[in-house]
Amino acid sequence: QVQLVQSGAEVKKPGASVEVSCKASGYTFTNYRMHWVRRAPGQGLEWMGVINPTGGSTTYAQKFQGRVTMTRDTSTSTVYMELSSLRSEDTAVYYCVRGGAVAGTSSVFDYWGQGSLVTVSS
């Protein structure tokens, strides 16, 4: 069965960087894109970007351009999301979400990771 297992909670100081990992299993890793979505306390869901695990190409939301980097390691079926220059507003639960076959044009989200809480506090 498809599983996305994320790394644990992190506490970071303002200005620092954080890296969240998402290990996929139960399917062919390079066949599906992976998205990242976050939910800040009291807020709704926010899309951050997507990575194509086949070649590593990425598309980021304009809001995060210059601060977010998504990468992948095909040998371990793991995607990574690094967010830099952290501020208090980045405190949120970050989710990886499988979305859309690489071979197709659809971007339907189906399986979600369990979420990783990132707290930014001095």
Partner 1 sequence: DIQMTQSPSSLSASVGDRVTITCRASQGISNSLAWFQQKPGKAPKSLIYGASSLQSGVPSKFSGSGSGTDFTLTISSLQPEDFATYYCQQYNNFPFTFGGGTKVEIK
Sorted by sequence, the CB contacts under 8 Å of residue 60 that are 6+ apart come out as 48, 49, 68, 70
Choose between 10 and 46: whose C-beta lies nearer to partner 1: 46
Looking at the Cβ atoms of 103 and 108, the one nearer to partner 1 is 108
Tokens representing 33 are 């894109």
Give the C-alpha distances (Å, rounded to integers) separating 56 from 39, 43, 79, 87, 95: 25, 30, 10, 27, 19
Residues in the chain: 122
The least CB distance from residue 122 to partner 1, in Å, is 26
Binding residues vs partner 1 (CB under 8 A) = 35, 37, 39, 44-47, 59, 61-63, 95, 99, 106-115
Taking the complex as a whole, how short is the minimal distance between the CB of residue 75 and partner 1, in angstroms?
26
Q: How far is the CB of 47 from partner 1 (least distance, A)?
A: 4
